[in-house]
Amino acid sequence: MIKQTVNNTEVIVHSGYEEIGGNLVEIRYKKNRIILDLGISFKQFKKFYEWPFRTPKDADELIELGIVPKIEGLFAKTENDINAIFISHAHRDHSELTQYIPSGTNLFMGETCEIILRTRRDVYNIKYKIDLKNGVTKFRTGFEIPIDEITVHPIHVDHSIPGAYSYIIRTPDATILYTGDYRLHGGKVCERSLTEDMIIKAKEYGKIDLFITEGTRFSDCSTDREIDVLARLNKILSSFDGTILLEYSYLDIDRYESIIEAAVNWNKNILFDYRHLIFLYRLYKEDSGLTKKISLDAYKDMLYIYVKNRGRLRRKVREIIEEMENEGYNIIETLQDVPTQNVILEGFNLYIQDIFKTGPERCLAIHSTSEPYDEEIEISYEKLNNWLKALNAPSYRIHSSGHIHPLDLIKVYKEILPKDTLVIHSEYPNQVKEMLTKNVIK
């Protein structure tokens, strides 16, 4: 935990300092308390749990194990209550603890974020206390949300998940910019970076007293953008006609679009794990801003959805799959029904034993996430690599990060010129801060 003050405004980083993920930040002005993000620390989480096989029983267990800090009025009502909670985006290291907050909590998030959390709840049978669909206040970029004496302004940013926001928070004596997770290079879906809007808005406010920025990337950085990812995918897909095993962050719509484009270019079919495609399907159906941007309906012929043990799935999930089947999507219940040539098996880590059993002659793997940091904590790379060796499959890493790289961070900093900076979501907060201040002569 780290505390910083600007006049009478206090900023408390309950978790997410000196580590990547687990964002949980409180802004206090006298009796007013707001929380930014409800993330979980993967580092701590992984010591005790293996998702989805062993998951926490409740918030008390997480607090007792020291994974989640004890914060008055967060999971149980007290007199010193929290006025509102704002979630920046739906990655689990920013939103995981939403399931434990009591109903009646003032919870705010973007429309897209709510759709993703609700889908995750349905697919993984997560028990929420709060009614996501009706009990959450949804905002769009540019809103001004007054919370007693504090005003919160969400402004969209670019990240490797749709619906990511930064916040400008104004108390009577401080203006704070909280970036959430972001990057300055645009994606594929939207070439101009949405993050430009955050910079514009921050400059409109005049002085930013405190710039709370993520600093995920520091060592071994690359400047690769989504367009570079597409070029590399094209290269590999053009020269290999065996089975391609692919894992990517399935909430990254830009990556999905690159994969589809490369697959169309080289005549490949793609088998998706049903758990992953359901998210895209829901966003496509429910998020009017994304319907035109997600290549789904028109690509049904090349998409296969792998649903094993369909009869044993929960009713809610079965219903979504039936809906997709009725709309003409190809549902595959056994891998034997998939052609072994010219096929991409997405989410292969979830059914690697089935692949091992069917024994495709020639496989090659593409890791399209950043190792070792996986925002959805789905993958254990060590085990995965052992399976790939057992399949005699070489692997390539093709990735462009959702996080800002140091040179771009300096650029943002130079534009905003904040009075003070607090680096979170970073293993090296002091080094990142020093890097920023030393590169700017005020």
Please give the residue ranges that form the binding site for Zn ion (CB under 5 A): 93, 181
Cβ 109 vs Cβ 116: under 8 Å: no
Q: Minimum CB separation from Zn ion for residue 91, in Å?
A: 5
Q: How far is the CB of 35 from Zn ion (least distance, A)?
A: 16
Query: Which DSSP helix (H) or strand (E) runs through 318?
Result: helix 315-326
Structure-token pair, residue 418: 């904040």
- The encoded tokens of residue 380 equal 């254990």
For the chain, how big is the Rg over CA atoms in Å?
A: 22
Check residue 2 and give left, alpha or beta (phi > 0: left; psi -120 to 50: alpha).
beta
Smallest distance from Zn ion to CB 251, Å:
12
Are the C-beta atoms of residues 177 and 103 closer than 8 Å to each other?
no
Task: Report the residue number, 232 or 255, with the smaller CB distance to Zn ion.
Answer: 255
In the complex, least distance from residue 214 CB atom to Zn ion, rounded to whole angstroms: 7
Return the number of the residue (93 or 114) whose C-beta is nearest Zn ion. 93
When the beta carbons of 93 and 378 are compared against Zn ion, the nearer one is 93
CA distance 315 to 307: 14
Order of strands, sheet of 145-147, starting from the edge strand that comes earlier in the sequence:
145-147, 150-157, 164-171, 174-178, 210-214, 420-424
Nearer to Zn ion, 28 or 92 (CB): 92
What is the per-residue DSSP string for 152-221? EEEEEEB-SSSSEEEEEEEETTEEEEE--S-BSS--SS-SS-THHHHHHHHHHT---SEEEEE----SS-
Least separation in angstroms between CB 180 and Zn ion: 8
Closest CB 183 distance from Zn ion, rounded Å: 12
Rounded least distance, CB 181 to Zn ion, Å: 4
Q: How far separated are the first and last CA of the chain, in Å rounded? A: 30
Q: Tell me whether residue 90 or residue 363 sits nearer to Zn ion (CB atom).
A: 90
CB of 279 to Zn ion, least distance (A): 17
Complex with Zn ion: residue 9 or 426, whichever CB lies closer: 426
Q: Is 93 or 273 the residue whose CB approaches Zn ion more closely? A: 93
For strands 210-214 and 330-332, give the pairing. Answer: unpaired
Whole-angstrom Cα distance, residue 208 to residue 192? 24
- The span from the CA of 279 to the CA of 419, in Å, is 40
Q: Which is nearer to Zn ion, 181 or 408 (CB)?
A: 181
